[in-house]
Amino acid sequence: MVSVEQANGVLAQIQDAGSGRAVTELSWIDQIRVEGSRVVFRLALPGFAQGQRERIAGEARQALLSLDGIDDVQIELGQPPSQGGIGQAGHGQPAERQSIPGVRQVIAVSSGKGGVGKSTVAVNLACALAQQGLSVGLLDADIYGPNAPTMLGVADRTPEVRGSGDTQRMVPIESCGVAMVSMGLLIDEHQPVIWRGPMLNGIIRQFLYQADWGERDVLVVDLPPGTGDAQLSLAQAVPMAGVVIVTTPQQVSLQDARRGLAMFRQLGIPVLGVAENMSAFIPPDRPEQRYALFGSGGGATLAADYDVPLLAQIPMEMPVQEGGDSGRPIVISRPDSASALEFQGLAERVLQQVTTTA
Ligand SMILES: Nc1ncnc2c1ncn2[C@@H]1O[C@H](COP(=O)(O)OP(=O)(O)OP(=O)(O)O)[C@@H](O)[C@H]1O
């Protein structure tokens, strides 16, 4: 007959995709019993790991059925471990998070849905922080639309790689005062998005720890939209100063932003505040005019509901889009424009909230 130790042994091979730790060590699988030819165990995943449920259950079933003498597996669902789990530390952040040598603060930019201008905000925030004299890195982790190389005018450049084997390091590309690496530089743009997902965790870690960031006051991370693996991977990998949530004022965008905000809270990542983008349209020929194309007040409501600051209300202006496409972000190409002033204010308010030693 199979022993509990043998069952535990095969289950210990299954890992949390984010931290790489064994699910048994995390107590996500426990209470293992062997009843003749059947193994029973409890599966209790914390909220942020629910996306891994099917994979973990499938791998566990397969691993146990591969043992001689086992022909049935029963999974009991349990309450998530209250502590220990992924190593909940003081603020609920996993204890095994590993900081990046030389990088003082990591700030993520996230949105509930795509197309709200998250990359535009991340790039202009990074440039505005650099304009304030900080040494800034930008990690473009958006697998669905890695736009940072275009927005910084370096889409045709290939990053230099130094060293070989385990010591290999990618040198970020410098542009507009910011050192940048992008998913776009590693992912085949013709590869279907569904195949990119599983690579995410590995690539994010590679970018964090195998890029030559040097000394950086701030590393801004442009995350893909939504509440998926990239958010988890980043949250589990590195200690973060916080996250900026980008939304547009309309309801559908706000609902998704709420989900994102709640997820970061659950992960123990401080939410620095809300940046409302496309707050109002400013026509090029009448700069004093404002048209609330997507409604108004959404960002303020979201911020108030979660008791976080409304960090900026960035208007919709043609130079923002032109700046993005031409590789000169608006804080550089039109620093006096209404949007650039909001981006500069955003950078100041973000800085007020994180302690930098610049
Ligand atoms: N405030 C703004 N005014 C004018 N155009 C804007 C503004 N913000 C973003 N845009 C434009 O909207 C488009 C989408 O922006 P962006 O790529 O930053 O969105 P995103 O949320 O990162 O999208 P995705 O997540 O799908 O990559 C771009 O063409 C960008 O130039």
Tens of pLDDT along 309-338?
Answer: 999 999 999 989 998 899 999 999 999 999
Domain identity same for 17 and 114: no
Q: Which range (44-53, 258-267, 280-289, 334-343) has the least confidence?
A: 44-53
**pLDDT in the model for residue 320:** 92
Q: Does a structural domain hold residue 239?
A: yes
Domain identity same for 69 and 122: no
Q: Does a structural domain hold residue 302?
A: yes
User: For residue range 23-81, what is the model confidence (pLDDT) as tens digits?
Assistant: 998 888 988 999 899 999 888 877 667 678 888 989 999 999 999 999 999 887 766 55
Arithmetic mean of pLDDT over the chain: 86
**pLDDT in the model for residue 86:** 28
Domain identity same for 168 and 42: no
168 C-alpha vs ligand 1 centroid, how far in Å? 34
Q: Does a structural domain hold residue 283?
A: yes
Number of domains in the chain: 2
Higher pLDDT, 230 or 140: 140
Annotated binding residue 116: yes
In short, whether 272's Cβ falls inside 6 Å of ligand 1 is: no
**pLDDT in the model for residue 154:** 92
Q: Does a structural domain hold residue 345?
A: yes
Question: How many alpha carbons fall within 13 Å on the CB side of residue 295?
Answer: 13
Annotated binding residue 252: no
**pLDDT in the model for residue 47:** 63
Residue 22 scores a pLDDT above 80: yes
Domain identity same for 346 and 241: yes
Annotated binding residue 87: no
Q: Does a structural domain hold residue 212?
A: yes
135 C-alpha vs ligand 1 centroid, how far in Å? 25
**pLDDT in the model for residue 104:** 92
Domain identity same for 124 and 64: no
Q: What is the CATH number of the domain that holds 64?
A: 3.30.300.130
Residue 93 scores a pLDDT above 60: no
Which atom of ligand 1 is closest in space to residue 319's alpha carbon? 4
Domain identity same for 27 and 65: yes
Ligand 1 pocket mutation pick from 321, 342, 346 by most atoms within 8 angstroms of CB: 321
Ligand 1 pocket mutation pick from 120, 121, 123 by most atoms within 8 angstroms of CB: 120
Q: Which residues pair with 77 in a beta bridge?
A: 43
Domain identity same for 52 and 145: no
120 C-alpha vs ligand 1 centroid, how far in Å? 5
Decide: pTM greater than 0.80. no
Domain identity same for 323 and 254: yes
Question: How many alpha carbons fall within 13 Å on the CB side of residue 281?
Answer: 9
In short, whether 317's Cβ falls inside 6 Å of ligand 1 is: yes
Q: What is the CATH number of the domain that holds 269?
A: 3.40.50.300
The percent of residues in the chain predicted with pLDDT above 70, rounded, is: 88
User: For residue range 103-114, what is the model confidence (pLDDT) as tens digits?
Assistant: 999 999 999 988
In short, whether 313's Cβ falls inside 6 Å of ligand 1 is: no
Q: Does a structural domain hold residue 89?
A: no
In short, whether 175's Cβ falls inside 6 Å of ligand 1 is: no
pLDDT band at 186 (very low <50, low <70, confident <90, very high): confident
Q: Which of 35, 59, 77 is the last residue of a domain?
A: 77
Domain identity same for 282 and 335: yes
Domain identity same for 175 and 286: yes
**pLDDT in the model for residue 196:** 61
Domain identity same for 164 and 244: yes
For the chain, the three-class secondary structure string (H helix, E strand, C coil) is CCCHHHHHHHHCCCECCCCCCECCCCCCEEEEEEECCEEEEEECCCHHHHHHHHHHHHHHHHHHHCCCCCCEEEEEECCCCCCCCCCECCCCCECCCCCCCCEEEEEEEEECCCCCCHHHHHHHHHHHHHHCCCCEEEEECCCCCCCHHHHCCCCCCCCCEECCHHHCEECCEEECCEEEEEHHHCCCCCCCHHHHHHHHHHHHHHHHHHECCCCEEEEEEECCCCCCHHHHHHHHHCCCCEEEEEECCCHHHHHHHHHHHHHHHHHCCCEEEEEEEEEEECCCCCCCCCECCCCCCHHHHHHHHCCCCEEEEEEECHHHHHHHHHCCCHHHHCCCCHHHHHHHHHHHHHHHHCCCCC
- In this structure, the chain runs to a length of 358
**Structural domain for 69, as ranges:** 4-77
Q: Does a structural domain hold residue 228?
A: yes
Q: Does a structural domain hold residue 245?
A: yes
Domain identity same for 50 and 166: no
209 C-alpha vs ligand 1 centroid, how far in Å? 28
